Amino acid sequence: MTLLELFRLLKKHLQIVVLLPVACALVVGLYSAIFVRNQYTATSSMYVLAQNDSSNSNSLYSDLNASQMLTNDVAKLLKSDRIVSQVGSEVGIEGLKGYSVSVTSETTSRVIALSVTGPDPQTAADIVNKMIEDVSGVAQSVMNVESVNPVDMAQAPEKPSGPNRLLYTLVAFVAGLFAAIAIVVVSDMLNTKVRGSEDLEELVDVPIIGRIPNVQGGR
């Protein structure tokens, strides 16, 4: 099938090509608007300070390396069962169910970025602040850490971070369009009814040398 034949076929079945993707987009758009809750992301960052940190130039370099090595350990500790369970008890959400925790740290930095995403903006901010507070105490007891200091306190976000309803709707529209094209093409391939001389030529693979006219009421 050439592109021109495909275009003619789609034009012939224009109704399904238009209605199916529009229907898919409407269904997904309405579903995401009614049943999918907004998600809010609260963020903060913290600074890891090793016990031997000092302003002395002779020990500054070694102290910096020690703190950088501890940073990754503190980042892993933030997502540990101990911290998650402890913070969950404090905010009244067992295991922080419904909230996702993201921790980012770089090997060349002593700063850890923490973000929590969930359906309630204030709870998400409370979880971030509680996690920083609790991880500092745990890190001091099990690691060579002086303190884990928040760079800034998390604030309740005013705008949702998701879901991206427009993207969902566009994806549904494109999926519906491809589905409509597939339905039209497959149904045409399965339809063996001869609708004209072109179909007959293609079916028997021989040229048509004549036609018998349909004469009504004559000899």
User: Is the whole model's pTM more than 0.85, yes or no?
Assistant: no
The mean per-residue pLDDT over the stretch 107-131 comes to: 92
d(CA 62, CA 68): 10
The pLDDT of residue 209 is above 70: no
Tens of pLDDT, residue by residue over 52-94, are 655 554 555 555 666 677 888 899 999 999 999 999 999 999 9
CB 17 within 8 A of CB 184: yes
Bigger pLDDT: 72 or 161?
A: 161
Q: Is the pLDDT of residue 125 over 80?
A: yes
pLDDT, tens digit, 9 for 90 and up, residues 18-36: 999 999 999 999 999 999 9
Out of 3.30.70.1130, 3.40.50.2300, 3.40.50.300, 3.90.1150.200, select the CATH number for domain 40-152: 3.30.70.1130
> Residues of CATH 3.30.70.1130 domain(s) within the chain?
40-152
Structure confidence at residue 8 as a pLDDT band (50, 70, 90): confident
* R_g over Cα of the chain: 33
Among residues 133, 149, 26, 135, which one has the least CA distance to residue 83?
135
Cα distance from N-terminal residue to C-terminal residue, the chain: 42
Closest by CA to 19, choosing from 173, 166, 154, is 173
156 Cβ partners below 8 Å, 6+ apart? Answer: 40, 42, 121, 122, 124, 125
The mean pLDDT of the chain is: 85
Residues 109-131: what's their mean pLDDT?
Answer: 94
Mean local confidence (pLDDT), 135-144? 87
pLDDT of residue 214: 64
